[in-house]
C-alpha cells in the first residue's frame, strides 16, 4: 500500500490543493515547536538562568528528524496537545546538565502559539512571493490592454463598455492591497510566553526579561502581555490571509466567466495539450487553473469563521477553542498558499482575445451605449424623458433583433427628439461607438499601475523588471 508523504503534495489531491511551498505539514509544525524550545533555551541562558552552553546543546538536539512524529501524536492525547511528550523526548536527547534549559517557565500554549507565529511568518513569505508574481502579470495585462474594449457586465448582463486593461487593473489592485495587509500582519506576529496562567511566576522577576529575549531570538514582536485567551492576533492573521483568498477568488471567477464557450474572451495558456481536458468529451478545454484557485478559495470563509468563533475563550486557558485553531490555521495557510501559486500561473499564461471582446460588444446592437445616448438627449428632453425614450428604443431593438441606432432613427418620436437635441445621424453613430464612452478607464488603469510601481519600489524590486 502506498504511503502519503508528510509534505501533503502527494496522493490524489495534493498536487491540486497543496501546490505551493507553504509548509504546514506535521514536520513543519514539529520543527516550529522545536525552534521555539531552542530559542527559549538560548533566552534563559542569556538571562543567566542556566549554565553556559545549554542553549547551544538544546538547539543542536532540536531537529525534527530526531523525533517520531507518530509516537508524539499518540502521546499527545494524554495531555491534549503534543508539547508534554515533545519536552520529554527533547530532554532525553540531552545530558543531565543541559536538561534544565528545556521548557523553563513555559506552558504548552506558549510553545504551540509561538510555533504558529513562526509557521505563519514562513507561509506569508511564500504567499507574498507568489502574489508578487501574480501582480506582475496582472500589471502586464493592464498595460497591454489599456485600449482593449469589451462589454462591462453587471448582474451578468452587458452594461457599458470598459477596457480589459481596467479589468486587469482591478485584479492588480486587489492583489496589491491584500499584499499590503498581509505584510502588515507579518510585522505584528508576536511571541507567546506567559507560563501557566499568563504571569510567568515560575521565572520570578526574570520572566519579562526572558520573554523579551525569546522574542529577540525568534525575530518576533514582543506583545504588551501574554495573549493566551486574547485571540485577536489569530483573527487578524486569519482575516489577512482570507483577504488574499478573496482577491484571488475574484480573478479566478472572472476568468471562468470570460472563458465560457459563448463568451470566449480569454483562455488559459497550456504547455500540456491535455490541460483542461475531459474524461468524456474530447473537445473540452476547461479553465482548470482558475477552477483550482476557486477550489481552494471556496473553503477559506468557513475556516475564517471557525477561527473567529474560536476567539471566544475562557479565563486564562481555553477548553477546546484553542485546540480548534491548530488544523484550521494549517488548512487556511495551505489553501491560500496554493491559490496564490495557481493564480501566478493563471495570470502568467492568460490569453486575451481582443477581437472576440469587440465582436461580443458589437453583437449587442449598440445597447450598451444607451446610457450615452440618453445623456446626449437629456439637455433637450430632460433626464427622465430621455431615459424613457431610449429605454423604449432599446426594448424594440431587443425584440426585433435590430440595433439601438436603427430603432431611434425609425421611430417618429425618437427622431424628433434627436432633431430637437441637434443630434445628426453621424453624431448618433458616434454616440453608439463604444470607444467614445470609456470614461476614466485609462486614467484609473494608470493609477493602479502607478500604485503597483510604488509598492514594488517599497519592496525593492528591480525597476527593470516592470
Residues 38-65 have a mean pLDDT of: 98
The burial of 387, by beta-carbon neighbours within 10 Å (0-12 exposed, 13-18 middle, 19 or more buried), is given as middle
Burial 191-213 (b: 16+ CB within 10 A, else e): bbbbbbebebeebeebbebbbbb
Backbone angles phi, psi at 150, to 5 degrees: -150, 170
pLDDT confidence band for 284 (50 / 70 / 90): low
Angle subtended at Cα 115 by Cα 342 and Cα 208, rounded to the nearest 5 degrees: 140
Q: Which three cell numbers stand for residue 435?
A: 470607444
Burial 282-305 (b: 16+ CB within 10 A, else e): eeeeebbbbbbbbbbbebbeebbe
pLDDT greater than 50 at residue 333? yes
Annotated active-site positions, please? Answer: 278, 317
DSSP string, 157-168: EEEEEEEHHHHH
pLDDT greater than 50 at residue 326? yes
Query: Tell me, what's the pLDDT at 5?
Result: 42
Sequence ranges of the domains in the chain: 14-19+21-359, 367-431
pLDDT digits (tens, 9 = 90+) for 81-126: 999 999 999 999 999 999 999 999 999 999 999 999 999 999 999 9
Residues 34-60 have a mean pLDDT of: 98
On the CB side of 293, CA atoms within 13 Å amount to 26
Query: Tell me, what's the pLDDT at 18?
Result: 87
The C-alpha atoms of residue 209 and residue 216 are separated, in whole angstroms, by: 11
Query: Tell me, what's the pLDDT at 10?
Result: 67
Query: Tell me, what's the pLDDT at 15?
Result: 85
pLDDT greater than 80 at residue 276? no
pLDDT confidence band for 463 (50 / 70 / 90): very low
Domain 14-19+21-359, CATH: 1.20.200.10
CB count in 10 Å sphere of residue 124: 25
Query: Tell me, what's the pLDDT at 113?
Result: 98
The helix or strand, by DSSP H or E, that contains position 268, with its residue range, turns out to be: strand 266-268
pLDDT greater than 50 at residue 2? no
Query: Tell me, what's the pLDDT at 14?
Result: 82
CB count in 10 Å sphere of residue 234: 22
Query: Tell me, what's the pLDDT at 461?
Result: 59
Q: Which three cell numbers stand for residue 455?
A: 509598492
Closest C-alpha among 141, 166, 136, 138 to residue 151: 166
pLDDT digits (tens, 9 = 90+) for 357-366: 999 999 999 9
pLDDT confidence band for 272 (50 / 70 / 90): low
- Taking phi first (over 0 means left), then psi (-120 to 50 degrees means alpha), and beta for anything else, what does residue 223 get? beta
pLDDT digits (tens, 9 = 90+) for 401-431: 999 999 999 999 999 999 988 999 999 999 9
DSSP string, 183-239: HHHHHT-B----TTTTS-GGGGGGHHHHHHHHHHHHT-BPPSS--TT-THHHHHHHH
pLDDT digits (tens, 9 = 90+) for 134-167: 999 999 999 999 999 999 999 999 999 999 999 9
pLDDT confidence band for 256 (50 / 70 / 90): very high
Residues 193-219 have a mean pLDDT of: 97
pTM attached to this predicted model: 0.92
Query: Tell me, what's the pLDDT at 273?
Result: 64
DSSP string, 309-332: HTT---TTS-SSHHHHHHHHHHHH
Mean of the per-residue pLDDT values of the chain: 93
Amino acid at each position: 500500500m502506498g504511503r502519503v508523504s508528510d509534505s501533503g503534495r502527494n496522493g490524489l489531491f495534493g498536487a491540486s490543493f497543496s501546490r505551493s511551498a507553504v509548509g504546514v505539514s506535521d514536520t513543519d509544525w514539529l520543527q516550529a515547536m522545536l525552534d521555539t524550545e531552542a530559542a527559549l533555551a538560548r533566552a534563559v541562558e542569556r538571562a543567566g538562568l542556566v549554565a553556559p552552553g545549554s542553549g547551544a546543546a538544546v538547539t543542536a538536539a532540536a531537529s525534527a528528524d530526531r523525533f517520531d512524529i507518530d509516537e508524539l501524536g499518540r502521546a499527545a492525547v494524554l495531555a491534549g496537545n503534543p508539547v508534554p511528550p515533545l519536552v520529554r523526548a527533547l530532554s532525553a536527547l540531552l545530558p543531565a546538565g543541559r536538561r534544565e534549559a528545556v521548557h523553563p517557565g513555559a506552558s504548552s500554549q506558549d510553545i504551540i502559539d509561538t510555533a504558529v507565529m513562526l509557521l505563519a511568518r514562513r507561509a506569508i513569505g511564500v504567499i507574498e512571493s507568489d502574489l508578487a508574481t501574480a501582480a506582475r502579470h496582472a500589471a502586464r495585462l493592464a498595460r497591454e490592454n489599456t485600449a482593449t474594449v469589451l462589454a462591462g457586465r453587471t448582474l451578468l448582463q452587458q452594461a457599458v463598455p470598459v477596457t480589459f486593461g481596467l479589468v486587469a487593473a482591478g485584479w492588480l489592485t486587489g492583489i496589491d492591497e491584500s499584499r499590503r495587509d498581509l505584510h502588515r500582519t507579518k510585522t505584528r506576529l508576536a511571541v507567546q510566553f506567559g507560563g501557566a496562567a499568563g504571569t510567568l511566576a515560575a521565572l520570578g522577576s526574570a520572566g519579562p526579561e526572558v520573554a523579551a529575549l525569546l522574542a529577540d531570538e525568534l525575530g518576533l514582536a514582543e506583545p504588551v502581555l501574554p495573549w493566551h485567551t486574547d485571540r485577536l492576533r489569530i483573527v487578524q492573521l486569519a482575516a489577512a490571509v482570507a483577504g488574499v483568498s478573496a482577491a484571488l477568488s475574484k480573478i479566478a471567477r472572472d476568468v471562468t466567466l470570460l472563458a465560457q464557450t459563448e463568451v470566449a474572451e480569454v483562455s488559459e495558456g497550456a504547455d500540456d495539450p491535455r490541460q483542461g481536458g475531459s474524461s468524456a468529451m474530447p473537445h473540452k478545454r476547461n479553465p482548470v487553473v482558475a477552477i483550482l484557485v476557486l477550489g481552494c478559495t471556496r473553503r477559506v470563509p468557513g475556516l475564517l469563521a471557525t477561527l473567529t468563533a474560536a476567539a471566544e475563550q475562557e479565563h486564562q486557558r481555553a477548553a477546546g477553542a484553542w485546540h480548534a485553531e491548530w488544523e484550521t490555521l494549517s488548512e487556511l495557510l495551505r489553501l491560500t498558499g496554493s491559490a496564490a501559486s495557481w493564480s501566478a500561473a493563471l495570470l502568467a499564461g492568460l490569453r486575451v482575445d481582443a477581437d472576440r471582446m469587440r465582436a461580443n460588444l458589437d453583437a449587442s446592437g449598440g445597447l450598451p451605449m444607451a446610457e450615452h445616448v440618453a445623456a446626449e438627449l437629456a439637455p433637450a428632453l430632460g433626464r427622465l424623458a430621455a431615459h424613457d425614450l431610449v429605454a423604449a428604443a432599446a426594448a424594440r431593438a431587443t425584440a426585433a433583433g435590430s440595433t439601438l441606432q436603427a430603432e431611434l432613427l425609425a421611430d417618429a418620436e425618437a427622431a424628433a427628439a434627436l432633431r430637437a437635441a441637434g443630434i445628426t445621424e453621424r453624431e448618433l453613430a458616434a454616440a453608439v461607438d463604444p470607444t467614445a464612452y470609456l470614461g476614466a478607464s485609462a486614467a484609473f488603469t494608470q493609477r493602479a499601475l502607478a500604485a503597483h510601481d510604488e509598492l514594488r519600489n517599497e519592496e525593492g524590486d528591480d525597476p527593470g523588471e516592470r
